[in-house]
Amino acid sequence: MSGVSEFEQRVAELIEAGRTLYRLGMVPATSGNLSARLTDGCLAITVSGRHKGRLTADDIMLIDAAGHSLDGRRPSAETGLHLQIYRRFPDAGAVLHPHSVNATLLSRGRRAPLVLTDYELLKAFPGVDTHAFALTVPVFANCQDIPALAAEVDDWMMRHQGPVHGYLIGGHGFYTWGATVDDALRHVEAFEFLFDCELRTGGMSRL
């Protein structure tokens, strides 16, 4: 791929990730958002309001590490949540925010964190090598004030002892990340599978 810039490579990966997420029913009706970090710290991120299952190069823009648009277009409304993850996790190269039915149902009205354990698929996450691992997935109340929500997430992560690989927002889906877009997609698949198991095991009253 001579002559293809790093930005163009990330754009291609994000377009493909969006198609995959859409096929899995996880980005309906323009919901969700996707980003990837470049070597210089800038981010390729989906433009606000585009359908994530049918992205084209026009639907992905460049912003700097502080979230400022570098081409005049409006980035995702939830850009602040992506920035929080990139600041806290230096190795994060991609952030994906799907909006699945399972994640919406599991998180709606819930405050207590989910604790996922006794699943072989937990080994899909970095650093987990046994099904007996207990992975905590915090749930944050939905909020239209993104800076406030990002601060709440960051505060929880700072105080939490133990790994975190994703979090839920009430009635709104989940955020996960990875070193590459591919890794982040693997984490999306794993979380969605585990959310499905949890919903079907515990009854709908998972409060």
Which spans of this chain sit near its own copies (rule: CB under 8 A)?
28-31, 51, 99, 101, 104-105, 108-109, 118-121, 124, 129-131, 142, 144, 169-173, 186-187, 189-190, 192-193, 196-197, 199-201, 203-207
Q: Which residue has the tokens 């309001």?
A: 49
> CB-wise, 37 or 99, nearer to its own copies?
99
8 Å CB contact between 80 and 146: yes
Nearest by Cα to 47 from 29, 37, 68, 62: 62
- CA count, 13 A, side-chain hemisphere, 199: 15
DSSP E strands, the chain:
33-37, 43-46, 60-63, 94-97, 114-116, 135-137, 139-140, 166-169, 173-178
- Min dist CB 159 to its own copies, Å, is 26
> CB-wise, 7 or 177, nearer to its own copies?
177
- Min dist CB 100 to its own copies, Å, is 9
> CB-wise, 42 or 189, nearer to its own copies?
189
- Min dist CB 90 to its own copies, Å, is 23
> CB-wise, 39 or 201, nearer to its own copies?
201
> CB-wise, 69 or 142, nearer to its own copies?
142
Q: How far apart are CA 148 and CA 171, in angstroms?
A: 17
Amino acid at 114: L
